[in-house]
């Protein structure tokens, strides 16, 4: 009997031990499922985030009223794949949304909205945390004008180059084209073909995935003379554009024996009006030196040079104007050479500033974002404005740019029945300027019945195929700019 | 002592005047609840996945219901005083296991495990019924204790002749079925341990030298414990089955303690166990890697090789959170191999959440508690030890595998009782429940108003 009583006690001890095991399991389960759950959920090796992300169709990116993206149900573990019905045309706008390589451009900048994780999409705060549900992806409506985009893409016709067009009064980006382009759809999905496409696109010497309109800087060449002249007019270095300048031809760069020549003739002592019309390097190089590096840098910065923070919403490469230069370098910088580099979008902004009375509206690509049902989540609203130059300077520059198109180097850009202003550029580059020059054209246009200019364009063509002598802003780039402007004006 | 004496005097005269209620109605009601819950789970999976109630829902429910009902009738007929909770818990856990396996089958259309599991469940319930009907008195088993241990050893040795599967030699394949004989050996060993200890506990209780508060066992009786320890190590080394080895040893230590009350046994047991574990951990790469995985579950991720099974299992539990993703809506299949067997709990954790997981743990806890309660209520030492042993098998097994997949202890391959895919396991668990039913029937029918004293 004694033993039995004892055994009862031992059984109770053993039961306590089992209870301890149970408590240990419960505590440990609570630790994992409640307290440490987030760190496990966020582990990059945990595929649940990706599964949820691709478990529903992604929101669309719209141009005009029509989506330029789509979603394909693959029935795989990462279920929906991105499709791009007009991939190459809109690649610099949309970017890609790859299940392997992530996202770029608008797909990246608006990812939270498109994938449905943006808290702005839910009806009530914390509602989704409670219901464990994800919102359907929202849509992104862009500012792109489909006609302008197509005109630009067709104009480049596969030649290496880029086009950027903005609406001067608002900063809306109307066209953003890069060429050669690629179809982002080849990067959707996660099979071996995607890896092959990725390797092929990255190895391609033409760099089709490079967004030349916003992520590549070029020496702007003579198109930069707009900035130089704006600086000279604002600083009072030039007061009368019809007064003869004291400019030698050729011009020996200060402090060197290097002499600068012109493609055009009649540049010696040419007044600013003629020098602008015929793009005299000597006149503008000397003008830049007379303005001085400080005023040149100030004006360039007002136009948006040396700005690292521009986003449309995705980041734009910094356009540069070197401020630590000697006089010879400043002379070259003032005609868009040396270390002066600009993205096509930056040069479109320069043109837009002239067209818009000297004011620059920060450019943007997203008009508004909506829920999948169409209700607006956010709109672009009014953009910050910056005075790039004195309004009188803008008026003067507008007049000079018009003359470039009516009787100067830019006649190819003329549109019957519309006021068009422009500036050509042919930029040297490479070691000892041995590279094929880039053909530039920047312009703006105002329809007969418009109150203000409707579009400002920058076109750059870097055609390695062409004969060096034939590359010129007026010949190669101006017709593309005209097609884009016509497309916008006839809308 | 005096209290026990008065009890006997008081309870003796007019025979069993204070008989306990039989509670068979409660058992039936709980079985209905268990079957309905399982059918609900089955429908929930279908609704979540295809948007419709799966076509087999009625058949599944009817099948499970008929099985449970026949088992209930067997209990009603042959073990009317049995604990009313044991059978419903078995039915619910088995039903839930079938739901989880069916749910995981949807992810692996080429490899369906639920139909086979249903067949094995039927075999298990059949064994339960046979046991309930024909094993009139569990004390009969005491006579066959040495037959049991011989059979257990034979079953343990058998798989060594068969090729290793996934690094462990614990399966034998006959006619397309793979069987884990070690599962059956558990019950046989529990019977043997209970019989051996009940017979020898007085001798074993003789204590040897005393060091501080530790009562060391005498050298003469150290033999059996060393023999069992060696058996565990042999199982471990030859079959590479850490879990079963741990289970046998833990079971023996628990029963030894309950039989003799010598803390020295526990000390010696733990010492031997840790010695064995350290030695084997060093020598056996299979075991060594398990320990490394436990200490550093994300090592493979950091090495760029992607998540291993344990980290996938932890991800699944974490994804479940408090309320779970809902049946059919988790991604525990990412665990890959063994998602339906060893890691089945991760699916429960992800889709039912901490709430569901705790409920499952508590069901096991209740099952163990009922076993211990039967042990407490009995007077016969063999019966007490048998009940405690069987309940401890469930407790240890749940702890070893659940602790393993949740990263509490190093992972050892073992089946979650009733839930996991595996025929031998489900049949064994039904045998355990059948024996517990039998023991608890004896305990409650002899009840005399006092906890056995």
pLDDT at A131 over 80: no
Q: What residues of chain A have any CB closer than 8 angstroms to a CB in chain B?
A: 1-15, 17-19, 21-22, 24-26, 28-30, 32-34, 36-41, 43-48, 51, 132
In-domain check, residue B270: yes
Q: How far apart are CA A223 and CA A221, in angstroms?
A: 6
The pLDDT of B416-426, averaged and rounded, is: 91
DSSP assignments along B282-302, one per residue: HH-HHHHHHHHHHH-TTHHHH
Q: Among residues A407, A459, A478, which one has the least CA distance to residue A164?
A: A459
pLDDT at B2 over 60: no
- In this complex, the residue of B307, B321, B376 whose CB is nearest that of residue A37 is B321
pLDDT-based confidence at residue B176 (cuts at 50, 70, 90):
low
Instruction: Please count the other Cβ atoms lying within 10 Å of the Cβ belonging to residue A269.
Output: 15
For tokens 């920060």, name the residue.
A362
Task: Render pLDDT for A367-409 as a digit per residue (tens, 0 to 9).
Answer: 999 998 888 988 887 778 899 999 999 999 999 999 999 988 8
Beta bridge pairs of residue A360: A386
* A4 contacts B311? CB cut-off 8 A: no
Query: A409 to chain B nearest CA, in Å?
Result: 59
Q: How far apart are CA B187 and CA B145, in angstroms?
A: 11
Q: Which of A239-243, B63-67, B173-177, B441-445 has the lowest mean pLDDT?
A: B173-177
Task: Render pLDDT for A267-290 as a digit per residue (tens, 0 to 9).
Answer: 888 899 999 988 889 999 999 999
Q: Does residue A287 contact residue A228 with C-beta atoms inside 8 Å?
A: yes
Alpha-carbon distances, residue A80 vs A110, A141, A401, A419 (angstroms): 18, 21, 50, 48
Q: Which residue of A has its CA nearest to B321?
A: A33
* Percentage of chain B lying above the pLDDT 70 cut: 86
Residue A250: cis peptide before it, omega within 30 degrees of 0? yes
Q: Which of A236-240, B360-364, B370-374 has the lowest mean pLDDT?
A: A236-240
- Identify the pLDDT of residue A408: 85
Q: Is B330 exposed, middle or buried (0-12, 13-18, 19+ CB in 10 A)?
A: buried
Considering only residues A72 and B237, tell me which one the structure prediction assigns the higher pLDDT: A72
Task: Render pLDDT for A23-53 as a digit per residue (tens, 0 to 9).
Answer: 999 999 999 999 999 999 888 888 888 888 8
* Predicted TM-score (pTM) of this structure: 0.78
In-domain check, residue B158: yes
Chain B CB contacts of A39 under 8 Å are 318
Give residue B261's domain range: 146-283
Q: Is B363 exposed, middle or buried (0-12, 13-18, 19+ CB in 10 A)?
A: buried
- In this complex, the residue of A7, A18, A32 whose CB is nearest that of residue B314 is A32
Q: How far apart are CA A201 and CA B93, in angstroms?
A: 55
- Identify the pLDDT of residue A133: 74
Q: How far apart are CA A40 and CA A46, in angstroms?
A: 7
For tokens 């850490």, name the residue.
B242
- For chain A, the residue count is 491
The pLDDT of A276-305, averaged and rounded, is: 92
Task: Render pLDDT for A171-220 as a digit per residue (tens, 0 to 9).
Answer: 999 999 998 999 999 998 888 899 999 999 999 998 999 999 999 999 99
The domain segmentation of chain A, as residue ranges, is 214-489
Q: Please, how many CA atoms are within 13 Å of residue A446, restricted to the half-sphere of its CB?
A: 18
- Identify the pLDDT of residue B12: 47
Residue A180: cis peptide before it, omega within 30 degrees of 0? yes
B281's enclosing H/E stretch is helix B263-283
Query: B16 to chain A nearest CA, in Å?
Result: 21
Chain A CB contacts of B395 under 8 Å are 18, 21-22
Considering only residues A145 and B196, tell me which one the structure prediction assigns the higher pLDDT: A145
The catalytic position among A188, A197, A222, A334 is A222
- Identify the pLDDT of residue A211: 94
Q: Which residue of B has its CA nearest to A42?
A: B315
In-domain check, residue B167: yes
Chain A CB contacts of B365 under 8 Å are 18-19, 22
In this prediction, does ipTM exceed 0.85? Answer: yes
Q: Which fold has domain A214-489?
A: Beta-lactamase (3.40.710)
* B331 contacts A47? CB cut-off 8 A: yes
Q: Please, how many CA atoms are within 13 Å of residue B51, restricted to the half-sphere of its CB?
A: 0
Ranges of H-type helices in A365-453:
391-407
pLDDT at B452 over 50: no
Task: Render pLDDT for B265-304 as a digit per residue (tens, 0 to 9).
Answer: 778 777 877 887 787 777 777 778 888 888 898 888 888 8
A272's enclosing H/E stretch is helix A272-278
Most confident of A306-315, A377-386, B431-440: B431-440
Query: A377 to chain B nearest CA, in Å?
Result: 29
Beta bridge pairs of residue A176: A164
Chain B CB contacts of A22 under 8 Å are 361-362, 364-365, 368, 395, 399
Query: B138 to chain A nearest CA, in Å?
Result: 19
Cβ neighbours of residue A294 closer than 8 Å, sequence gap 6 or more:
none
- In this complex, the residue of A29, A37, A47 whose CB is nearest that of residue B357 is A29
Q: Among residues A414, A399, A352, which one has the least CA distance to residue A242?
A: A399
Alpha-carbon distances, residue B261 vs A377, B30, B257 (angstroms): 72, 37, 5
pLDDT at B9 over 50: no
In-domain check, residue B102: no
What angle, 0 to 180 degrees and rounded to 10, lies between the N-to-C axes of helices A225-235 and A293-303? 120
Please tell me the total count of domains within chain B.
1
Q: Please, how many CA atoms are within 13 Å of residue B34, restricted to the half-sphere of its CB?
A: 30
- Identify the pLDDT of residue B206: 66
Task: Render pLDDT for A404-426 as a digit per residue (tens, 0 to 9).
Answer: 999 888 888 899 999 999 999 88
Q: What's the distance, Cα to Cα, between the start and end of chain A in Å? A: 105
- For chain B, the residue count is 453
pLDDT at B96 over 90: yes
pLDDT-based confidence at residue B69 (cuts at 50, 70, 90):
very high
pLDDT at B54 over 60: yes
């Amino acid at each position: 009997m004694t033993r039995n009583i004892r055994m009862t006690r031992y059984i109770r001890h053993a039961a306590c031990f089992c209870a301890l095991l149970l408590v240990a399991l419960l505590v440990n389960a609570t630790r994992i499922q409640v307290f440490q759950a987030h760190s496990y959920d966020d582990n990059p090796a945990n595929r649940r985030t990706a599964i949820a992300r691709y478990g529903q169709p992604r929101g669309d990116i719209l141009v005009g009223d029509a989506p330029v993206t789509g979603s394909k149900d693959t029935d795989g573990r990462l279920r929906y794949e991105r499709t791009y019905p007009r991939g190459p045309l809109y690649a610099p706008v949309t970017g890609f949304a790859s299940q392997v390589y992530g996202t770029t451009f608008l797909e990246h900048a608006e990812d939270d909205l498109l994938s449905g994780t943006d808290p702005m999409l839910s009806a009530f705060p914390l509602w989704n945390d409670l219901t464990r549900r994800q919102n359907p992806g929202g849509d992104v409506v862009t500012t792109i004008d489909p006609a302008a985009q197509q005109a630009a893409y067709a104009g480049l016709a596969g030649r290496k180059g880029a086009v950027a067009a903005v609406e001067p009064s608002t900063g809306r980006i109307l066209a953003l084209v890069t060429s050669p382009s690629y179809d982002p759809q080849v990067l959707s999905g996660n099979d071996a073909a995607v890896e092959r496409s990725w390797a092929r696109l990255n190895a391609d010497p033409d760099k089709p995935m490079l967004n030349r309109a916003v992520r590549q800087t070029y020496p702007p060449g003579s198109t930069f003379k707009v900035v130089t002249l704006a600086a000279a007019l604002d600083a009072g270095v030039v007061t009368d554009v019809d007064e003869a300048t004291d400019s030698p031809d050729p011009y020996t760069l200060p402090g060197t024996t290097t002499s600068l020549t012109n493609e055009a003739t009649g540049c010696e002592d040419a007044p600013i009006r003629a020098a602008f019309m015929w793009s005299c390097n000597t006149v503008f190089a000397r003008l830049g030196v007379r303005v001085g590096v400080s005023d040149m840098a100030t004006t360039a910065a007002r136009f948006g040079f040396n700005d690292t923070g521009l986003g449309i919403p995705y980041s734009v490469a910094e356009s540069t104007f070197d401020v630590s230069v000697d006089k010879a370098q400043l002379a070259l910088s003032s005609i868009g050479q040396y270390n002066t580099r600009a993205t096509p979008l930056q040069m479109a902004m320069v043109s837009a500033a002239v067209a818009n009375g000297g004011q620059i509206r920060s450019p943007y690509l997203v008009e508004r974002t909506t829920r999948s049902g169409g209700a607006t989540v956010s709109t672009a609203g009014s953009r910050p404005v910056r005075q790039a130059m004195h309004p009188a300077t803008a008026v003067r520059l507008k007049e000079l740019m018009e003359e470039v198109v009516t009787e100067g180097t830019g006649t190819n850009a003329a549109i019957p029945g519309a006021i068009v202003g422009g500036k050509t550029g042919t930029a040297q580059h490479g070691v000892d300027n041995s590279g094929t020059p880039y053909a530039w054209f920047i312009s703006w246009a105002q329809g007969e019945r418009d109150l203000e200019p409707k579009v400002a364009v920058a076109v750059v063509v870097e055609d390695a195929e062409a004969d060096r002598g034939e590359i010129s802003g007026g010949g190669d780039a101006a017709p593309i700019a005209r097609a884009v402007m016509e497309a916008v004006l006839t809308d | 002592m005096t209290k026990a004496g008065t009890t006997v005097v008081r309870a003796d005269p007019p025979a069993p005047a204070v008989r306990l209620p039989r509670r068979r109605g409660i058992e039936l009601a709980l079985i209905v609840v268990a079957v309905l819950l399982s059918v609900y789970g089955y429908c929930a999976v279908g609704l979540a996945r295809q948007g419709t109630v799966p076509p087999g829902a009625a058949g599944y429910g009817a099948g499970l219901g008929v099985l449970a009902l026949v088992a209930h009738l067997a209990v009603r007929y042959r073990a009317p005083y049995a604990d009313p909770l044991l059978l419903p818990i078995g039915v619910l856990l088995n039903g839930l296991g079938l739901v989880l396996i069916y749910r995981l089958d949807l992810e692996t259309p080429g490899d369906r495990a639920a139909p086979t599991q249903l067949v094995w469940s039927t075999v298990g319930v059949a064994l339960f019924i046979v046991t309930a009907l024909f094993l009139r008195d569990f004390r009969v088993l005491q006579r066959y204790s040495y037959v049991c241990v011989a059979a257990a050893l034979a079953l343990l040795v058998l798989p060594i002749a068969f090729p290793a599967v996934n690094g462990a030699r614990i399966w034998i394949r006959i006619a397309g079925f793979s069987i884990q004989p070690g599962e059956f050996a558990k019950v046989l060993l529990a019977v043997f341990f209970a019989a051996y200890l009940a017979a020898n506990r007085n001798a074993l209780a003789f204590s040897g030298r005393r060091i501080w508060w530790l009562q060391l066992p005498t050298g003469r009786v150290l033999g059996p414990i060393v023999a069992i320890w060696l058996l565990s190590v042999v199982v471990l080394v030859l079959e590479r089955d850490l879990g079963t080895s741990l289970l046998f040893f833990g079971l023996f230590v628990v029963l030894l303690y309950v039989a003799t009350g010598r803390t020295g046994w526990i000390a010696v047991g733990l010492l031997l166990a840790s010695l064995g574990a350290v030695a084997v951990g060093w020598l056996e790469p299979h075991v060594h890697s398990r320990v490394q995985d436990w200490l550093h579950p994300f090592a493979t991720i950091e090495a760029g090789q992607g998540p291993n099974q344990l980290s996938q299992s932890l991800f699944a539990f974490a994804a479940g959170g408090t309320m779970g993703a809902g049946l059919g809506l988790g991604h525990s299949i990412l665990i890959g191999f063994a998602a339906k067997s060893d890691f089945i709990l991760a699916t429960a954790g992800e889709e039912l959440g901490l709430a569901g997981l705790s409920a499952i743990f508590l069901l096991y806890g209740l099952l163990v508690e009922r076993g211990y309660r039967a042990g407490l209520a009995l007077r016969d030492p063999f019966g007490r030890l048998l009940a405690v042993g069987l309940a401890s098998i469930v407790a240890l097994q749940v702890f070893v595998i659940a602790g393993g997949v949740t990263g509490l202890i190093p992972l050892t391959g073992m089946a979650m009782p009733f839930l996991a895919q595996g025929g031998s396991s489900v049949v064994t668990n039904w045998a355990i429940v059948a024996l517990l039913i039998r023991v608890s029937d004896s305990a409650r029918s002899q009840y005399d108003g006092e906890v056995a004293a």
